[in-house]
Chains A and B, each alone.
Chain A
Amino acid sequence: MKSWLLEKLKNLPFIQKKAKADPIQSLDEEHSAEQELWWGSFLIEEEQSRFFKIGQLVTCVDRFNHKWHITTYHEGEQPLKTFAAQTSNEITFKPMLPDRSLLSLLDRPCYIPLGETLRVYLSVPLWIQISAGNPTTILDEFATETLADTWFGKSTRAGELCYNNPIPGSPRLEDLPQDSTHAIILVSIENRTRGTNLLNELKIPLEHLSLYSDKKNRLWTEHLHMYQDDSDNLEALVVKSPPLPLSDFQLISPARVTIKPGLKNLFSSFLWE
């Protein structure tokens, strides 16, 4: 190769770029922005109101004799909801994962060679559950962001209705929005098939995942490990493990469905066969 060409290549930014540190190892150092804590229990006396600001969303809760009024201001004022509940003066806000699976594209399709593992981060818009009293009575549950529906399946006859994630997954955590109304999912996809496969999108069984918070009030789900075995076995194996090697994480809301999640398959080459 000519020397002037080599010189030019050396000067190009991607040659000189320093290798990124392992995102898991550097989580606490690089992304240590503390998030505001909005979940927990709050006291409201009779005939009193209280406003709660959760990200871009504002919720007003009014307490009356044996009833609660909840009004949400988000993408315009939502209609007032009245709940008849004989409760104490305690109201609890809890972040929840959406109630259905989530279909998320990757920021760019990725080939995974045989035996290799791809690690992807996904950001999921959360739901909010409001309950009152002790023991609690669930009053309301709503999404902080309305997600469009999408179909995931081999054909239009058989498949599953999922939420479409507007935020594509990325191998870099810093590419994703990290605020108080989003949770982060780390997914490891291992290719144990007979060759290289292309990964376009991922279906995440959210109803099987729990939500945890770390000491900086960031929300995480369990770490998902997905294995695609071989071409004869179209079922992918999904294994959950504690959120991350993070210290001091605590369970905020358990999984909606406790049975072991199953996944049809991971690679589009299998999906459309």
Chain B
Amino acid sequence: MPFSLPDLDLTFNNFIDALKDIDFFFILKLSSYIVISILLTLYMCRLVGKVSARHFSAHHSQLLRRITFYIGLVLSFVFPLHAFGVNVTALLGAAGIAAGIVTAAVAFASQTSISNFLSGMFLIVEKPFEVGDVVRINNDTMGEVLSIDLLSVKIRTKDNIFVRIPNESLLKSQFENVTRFPIRRCDVKLQMGFNEDLQKLKKILLEVAKQNPLCLVSPAPELSFLEFGEAALKLQFSVWSTQTSFSSLQTSIQTDIQVAFNKYDIKLPASPAIHISQT
């Protein structure tokens, strides 16, 4: 349909008339109330975060902060509107109905998300790990838990890669929380020649552990005889350390053993095998 100038003029006049009816001062006041409420909410979030960090775990503190934020955000709109005479009940009712319809539609379309959500709930209640713990999933991905959200768990690996694991698959898989307990054992597996003097070897290894400042005195280090291998004796030397110094101990204890073996002229079998495992 061709567009004529008189029509355009009429529409513009209507718009100006409509603007005349609007109370700009009212809108300005309402907006400023909403902005102040949001700022207050952000301040409350920070306060809740600070206080809860002192009394709760990192995960629960994060959860409390988020709940505070969302409740505060809703109230930041509801209270100013109510104060300025807007019928909030009707608005909330309409929003609720709309949200219900949308939720039902979304839920129907995304069963995986619902499953992830429910798995997330189980993870929160069961608490197999918390934010800051180091976990290993399916003997493969290992890293520090950054957040436990409703749909997924976010992990940062040692080589600084961000990994997102859906809650459902996490709940189905086997995972290890390696930092749950304050101290940890480091096992060094050794293969020695059949003619080796095991008493002498034990003395040397215990001295190595004693000299290493990262090894705990108690639980005491110990040398275990695992089995007679085809070409060597299979032994395991176990030392304990705190969680924080475990990685450093893994390297330093092997280096110290190597130095001690050279010093005391202890020969490894023809195909030397020394590897470290984690308990």
Which among B181, B182, B215 is the interface contact of A148 at CB below 8 angstroms? B215
Closest residue to A161 on the B side, CB-wise? B242
* A26 beta carbon closer than 8 Å to chain B: no
Inter-chain CA distance A156–B242, complex, in Å, is: 11
- Pick the interface stretch among B106-114, B216-224, B264-272: B216-224
Judging by beta carbons under 8 Å apart, are A148 and B217 in contact? Answer: yes
Judging by beta carbons under 8 Å apart, are B213 and A148 in contact? Answer: yes
Query: What's the dominant secondary structure at chain B's contact region?
Result: loop
Interface flags, A134-158, vs B, CB<8A=1, else 0:
0000000000001011111000110
Q: Which of A150-183 contact B (CB under 8 A)?
A: 150-152, 156-157, 159, 161, 164
- The smallest C-beta distance from A39 to any residue of chain B, in angstroms, reads 27
- The smallest C-beta distance from B183 to any residue of chain A, in angstroms, reads 6
Which among B183, B213, B218 is the interface contact of A146 at CB below 8 angstroms? B213
Interface flags, B32-45, vs A, CB<8A=1, else 0:
00000000000000
Inter-chain CA distance A156–B181, complex, in Å, is: 7
Judging by beta carbons under 8 Å apart, are A149 and B217 in contact? Answer: yes
* A103 beta carbon closer than 8 Å to chain B: yes
Residue among A146, A150, A161 with most chain B CB within 10 A:
A150
Provide the residues of chain A in CB contact with B213, threshold 8 Å. 146, 148
Which among B182, B210, B215, B219 is the interface contact of A161 at CB below 8 angstroms? B182
Judging by beta carbons under 8 Å apart, are B182 and A159 in contact? Answer: yes
Inter-chain CA distance A157–B179, complex, in Å, is: 11
Provide the residues of chain A in CB contact with B210, threshold 8 Å. 148
Residue among B182, B213, B217 with most chain A CB within 10 A:
B217
Provide the residues of chain B in CB contact with A150, threshold 8 Å. 216-218
Judging by beta carbons under 8 Å apart, are A157 and B181 in contact? Answer: yes
* B240 beta carbon closer than 8 Å to chain A: yes
Judging by beta carbons under 8 Å apart, are B218 and A152 in contact? Answer: yes
Provide the residues of chain A in CB contact with B240, threshold 8 Å. 151, 156
Provide the residues of chain B in CB contact with A164, threshold 8 Å. 217-218
Residue among B181, B182, B210 with most chain A CB within 10 A:
B182
Judging by beta carbons under 8 Å apart, are B181 and A149 in contact? Answer: no
Provide the residues of chain A in CB contact with B219, threshold 8 Å. 151, 156
Residue among B213, B216, B240, B242 with most chain A CB within 10 A:
B216
Inter-chain CA distance A151–B216, complex, in Å, is: 7
Residue among A151, A159, A161 with most chain B CB within 10 A:
A151
- The smallest C-beta distance from A124 to any residue of chain B, in angstroms, reads 16
Q: Which of A110-153 contact B (CB under 8 A)?
A: 146, 148-152
Inter-chain CA distance A102–B218, complex, in Å, is: 13
Provide the residues of chain B in CB contact with A161, threshold 8 Å. 182-183, 242
Inter-chain CA distance A6–B253, complex, in Å, is: 57
Judging by beta carbons under 8 Å apart, are B182 and A149 in contact? Answer: no
Using a CB–CB cutoff of 8 Å, the interface residues on chain B facing chain A are 181-183, 210, 213, 215-219, 240, 242
10 A-B pairs with the lowest CB-CB distances in the bound complex, closest first:
A150-B217, A164-B217, A150-B218, A148-B217, A157-B181, A151-B218, A149-B216, A151-B216, A150-B216, A151-B183
Jot down 9 A-B pairs with beta carbons below 8 A, ordered by A.
A103-B218, A148-B210, A150-B216, A150-B217, A150-B218, A156-B219, A156-B240, A161-B183, A164-B217
Q: A103-B218, A156-B219, A159-B182 are in contact. List 4 more A-B contacts (CB 8 A).
A: A146-B213, A149-B242, A150-B216, A150-B217
